[in-house]
């Protein structure tokens, strides 16, 4: 689903590469944690998958497509297949839960009938049934992140990228967020989550890819946050 072949990324203003010769594959329906210190290249990896950045060297394939050969007008189509969740939720403050999730479908021209059917299903999937008419400022941080996940997933993307999704949420609430991501993963969606949350990584025992100064230093199938000695 995601294939990096010897990918190096050097930003114009930097001398040191943000990613340095990264080769890896993430299969369909895998759940992967991307860990590593601040500045190790996690967000750069995610931005390359979205074609928000281009590699300086090497090839990136996503969902069978070589991104170097994907014309610019096809990039929005690629991004529709990839849901994104961020640390800071990024909800529309003047729209309620239903409207925030529905908006993701409206902008890609889905019919109103379809939206009325699928939005409640996804709102329920993330555990927010009964809260469709709440505004974001009437929700807890964990609930706001559930809305953001519903919005990212409502178009049934093949890949869900999550950049520090539990970064602004307390540990107990984070467990609920991870259950939602696990549920989404079990529908066959590939999940890649960049995180500093050691407790969460240790509790899930999923694949862990660790970056250090842009290099993959560890890739474990049922890993933990820190290196096991």
Alpha-carbon Rg for the chain, nearest whole angstrom, is 18
Shortest distance, CB of residue 44 to ligand ATP, whole angstroms? 3
Cβ-based nearer residue to ligand ATP, 154 or 194? 194
Shortest distance, CB of residue 113 to ligand ATP, whole angstroms? 40
Shortest distance, CB of residue 38 to ligand ATP, whole angstroms? 3
First vs last Cα of the chain: how many Å apart?
31
Cβ-based nearer residue to ligand ATP, 41 or 157? 41
Residues making contact with ligand ATP (CB under 6 A): 11, 13-14, 18, 36, 38-44
Three-state DSSP class for residue 185 = helix
Shortest distance, CB of residue 39 to ligand ATP, whole angstroms? 4
Q: What is the rounded distance in angstroms from the CA atom of residue 59 to the CA atom of residue 48?
A: 10
What DSSP line would sit under 35-76, residue for residue?
Answer: E-STTSSHHHHHHHHTTSS--SEEEEEETTEEGGGS-GGGHH
């Amino acid at each position: 689903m995601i294939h990096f072949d010897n990918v190096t990324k050097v930003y114009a203003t930097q001398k040191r590469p943000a990613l340095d010769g990264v080769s890896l594959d993430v299969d369909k329906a895998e759940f992967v944690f991307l860990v590593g210190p601040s500045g190790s290249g996690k967000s750069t990896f995610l931005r390359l998958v979205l074609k928000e950045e281009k590699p300086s060297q090497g090839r990136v394939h996503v969902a069978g497509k070589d991104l170097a050969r994907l014309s610019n007008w096809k990039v929005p189509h690629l991004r529709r297949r990839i849901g994104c969740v961020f640390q800071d939720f990024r909800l529309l403050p003047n729209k309620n839960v239903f409207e925030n999730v529905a908006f993701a479908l409206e902008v890609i021209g889905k019919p109103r009938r379809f939206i009325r059917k699928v939005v409640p299903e996804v709102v329920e999937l993330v555990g927010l049934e009964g809260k469709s008419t709440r505004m974001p400022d009437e929700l807890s941080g964990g609930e706001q992140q559930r809305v953001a996940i519903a919005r990212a997933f409502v178009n049934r993307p093949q890949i869900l990228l999550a950049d520090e999704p539990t970064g602004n949420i307390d540990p107990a609430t984070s467990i609920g967020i991870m259950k939602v991501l696990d549920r989404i993963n079990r529908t066959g969606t590939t999940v890649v989550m960049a995180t500093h949350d050691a407790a969460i990584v240790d509790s899930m025992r999923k694949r862990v890819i660790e970056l250090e100064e842009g290099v993959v230093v560890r890739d474990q199938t049922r890993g933990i946050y820190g290196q096991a000695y």
